[in-house]
Structure 1
Amino acid sequence: MSSNTLIEAKNLTKEYIRGRKEVVVAVNDVDLEIPRGKLIMVTGPSGSGKSTLLNVLSGLDKPTEGKIIFSDEDISGWEEERLSKFRQENIGFIFQNWELIRTLTALENIESPLYPLKIKSKEIRTRAISLLKQVGLWDKVDNYPDELSGGEQQRIGIARALVGKPKIIFADEPTGNLDVDNAGSVMRLLKSFTKRDTAILVVSHNEELKKYSDKAFRMSNGRFI
């Protein structure tokens, strides 16, 4: 594991039981390094295992075999309580369907991950305002999600993922519901945040997005090909 590597997966395997007996190998003996300050992409068709890989790497799911090393510490065997705290302190998530809270404004949605933490309200507001400006939506500060376009909602989702100052962002099909222009805009925005040493892992079925990555892998049947 090099000094610049944030996360390393070694011989990572994830199996599920389907029905009573059938074993489905969703991720099959995968090795992967994610460096700080880089955008890594995993592409592949639906069912290839890329979203499962993201879930296992981020601690949302446990591997069947293999190790996940985060900053020289093996997290693959941690209990959920410890993993939950780890995710809160180190990881930001971006989803295909944005998952914004409909009753909160754009600014409040960005602030929302910090509400349970011991952070002063002034600091929360300062961070959220700064990010809202960085994603180019200061003029939408008081708008609710239903008043925003799909591209604008995803930009709010990106700002929300970054407000906790995570070491890594996991983005699952972040452009899946966007047109070509908005998809490119979102990927350029994500790429810009690697300059602050944030690592980003994007999984997508869209091969055209690989041009925005520092390194890309294609997945099929649980393996890199």
Structure 2
Amino acid sequence: MILKAESVGRRFFRKRNGSNFFYAVQDVALTLRSGQLVALFGRSGSGKSTLLNMLSGLLAPSDGCVLLDNTNLYQMEDGALSQFRNEHFGVIPQGQAALQSLTVLENVLLPCTLFHDSTPQTEARAMALLEQTGIGDLRDVRPSELSGGEMRRMAIARSLIRNPDVILADEPTADLDDENTKVVLKLLKTVAEQGKIVFIATHDKDTFDYADAVYHMDAGKIKKEE
């Protein structure tokens, strides 16, 4: 499977440097393949999160297109795109994106319950993912009782619950200590080795030890590091 950005750009309307808009991402060409873990490094504000949102079907590009194999994400209707994204993409957001009314286990199962796909097998998978990320004993806890690192690991487990083809991770090791950083990066590397596409936007240079390729992003443009 291949996830491809073709001349992708995203502009936002705001007066800046004599113009009524500015580009957060400019003319990005990127090809991500199954079986690879790819890291994207860059300063805050360089456009990493905007690029991840476009690759995941969450933010339509102003220019260019995003394709998963032969499917052009932004030629789909909203409802079809939502279901397609739910089936094929696992997203680890930079911020906290938990429903406070649900337990940790229920939050992890949410991508399945949204489309009525929750079964005893998916609950067993959810528990296995919670154990792998070191928070299995917190299955019945509410998000308000979790630390930042525990919330991050819950989001990682949720992103993997449907065994998606593509995992897009925005700072997945933020809020984690050294030990749990290694646990998460080893897990994501294993997922890639199982034939998935894993793309990580990060400030954490420890990620490079697990990456098959590293890109650097600056002012909305990317280049591959040697």
Q: 1:58 corresponds to which residue?
A: 56
Percentage identity across paired residues of the two chains: 37
Task: State the partner residue of 1:178.
Answer: 176
What is the CA–CA distance in structure 1 between the aligned matches of 2:71 and 2:87, rounded to whole Å?
15
Question: Helix, strand or coil for the counterpart of 1:76?
Answer: helix
Separation (CA, whole Å) in 1 of partners of 2:161 and 2:94:
18
> Which residue number corresponds to residue 10 of structure 1?
6
State the AA in 2 paired with 1:193.
Answer: V
TM-score scaled by length of structure 1:
0.87
Work out whether 1:119 is the aligned partner of 2:117: yes
Number of equivalenced pairs: 221
Q: In the alignment, is the contact (CA less than 8 A) between 1:151 and 1:186 conserved in 2?
A: no
Asked if the contact 2:149/2:174 (under 8 Å) is kept, the reply is no
- CA shift, 1:62, in A, is 1.0
Give CA-to-partner distance per residue, 1:166-200, whole Å, 9 cap, x none: 11111111222334443333222222222322211
Distance 1:178 1:100 in 2: 17
User: Partner of 1:158 in structure 2?
Assistant: 156
Structure 2: gaps spanning 5 or more residues:
none
What is residue 169 of structure 1 aligned with on the other side?
167
Q: 1:202 aligns with which of 196, 200, 203?
A: 200
Query: Cα RMSD (Å) of the superposition?
Result: 2.2
Aligned positions of 1:1-225 closer than 5 A: 5-19=1-15, 21-225=19-223
Contact 2:89/2:168 (CA < 8 Å) preserved in 1? yes
TM-score by length of 2: 0.86
CA deviation after TM superposition for structure 1 residue 217, in Å? 0.1
Q: Could you tell me which amino acid in structure 1 is paired with residue 196 of structure 2?
A: T
Any gaps of 5 or more consecutive residues in structure 1?
A: none
Task: Give the Cα separation in 1 of the matches to 2:179 and 2:89.
Answer: 27
Contact 1:154 1:186 in 2 (8 A): no
1:54-104 deviation per Cα after TM superposition (whole angstroms, max 9, x unaligned) = 111111111122121211222233332222121111111112334223333
- Quote the offset at 1:19 in angstroms: 4.1
Q: Is the 8 A contact 1:96 1:177 kept in 2?
A: no
